[in-house]
């Protein structure tokens, strides 16, 4: 497997790369660059490259409640799936969540993302909640690690 270069997005170019991956995988909830700028202030975001080629991104929402639940999301563009990149991104996100004090790990996957659901279930996640955002017809699935 080739080595990924994983970076925190610290400029508009990297934030735009993170935005591209998010919007490609989550077309039902596109984010503006301003939305991403706001997210990077409250969440731990990373972007992944193979050489100079954008491969994926991660989001870790730190634990904020009494249950110390963190959300770890790893996204890999379809052309780069099934090469171990999701494993690497997910592992980094999980390590970050534990370092931030998480005791419970959740992830959120758009129901139409069959690959994402399969990946989550393979890693011990089970469906915890399902909801539909206003104006959308595709449910979001919150999964919790068992």
Residue range 117-132, pLDDT digits in tens: 999 999 999 999 999 9
Strand 53-61 to 69-76 pairing: antiparallel
Instruction: Name the residue ranges covered by the structural domains of the chain.
Output: 5-145
Phi, psi of 54 (to 5 degrees): -70, 130
Cα–Cα distance for residue pair 40/98, rounded to 1 Å: 19
- CATH for 5-145, options being 3.40.50.300, 3.40.50.920, 1.10.3720.10, 3.40.630.30: 3.40.630.30
Question: Are the beta carbons of 109 and 116 closer than 8 angstroms?
Answer: yes
Question: What pLDDT sits at residue 86?
Answer: 93
Band of pLDDT at residue 2, cut at 50, 70 and 90: low
User: What is the value of pTM for the model shown?
Assistant: 0.92
- On the question of pLDDT at 40 being above 80, the answer is yes
Residue range 56-104, pLDDT digits in tens: 999 999 998 788 999 999 999 999 999 999 999 999 999 999 999 999 9
Helix axes 33-42, 12-25, angle to 10 degrees: 100
Question: What pLDDT sits at residue 1?
Answer: 52
């Amino acid at each position: 497997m080739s080595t990924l270069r994983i970076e925190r997005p610290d400029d508009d170019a990297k934030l735009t790369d993170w935005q591209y991956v998010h919007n490609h995988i989550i077309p039902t909830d596109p984010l503006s660059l301003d939305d991403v700028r706001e997210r990077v202030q409250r969440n731990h975001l990373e972007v992944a490259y193979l050489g100079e080629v954008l491969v994926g991104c991660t989001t870790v929402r730190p634990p904020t409640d009494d249950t110390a639940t963190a959300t770890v999301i790893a996204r890999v563009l379809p052309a780069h799936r099934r090469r171990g990149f999701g494993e690497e991104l997910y592992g980094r996100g999980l390590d970050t969540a534990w370092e931030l004090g998480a005791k419970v790990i959740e992830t959120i996957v758009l129901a139409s993302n069959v690959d994402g659901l399969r990946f989550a279930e393979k890693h011990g996640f089970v469906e915890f909640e399902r909801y539909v955002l206003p104006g959308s017809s595709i449910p979001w699935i919150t999964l919790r690690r068992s």
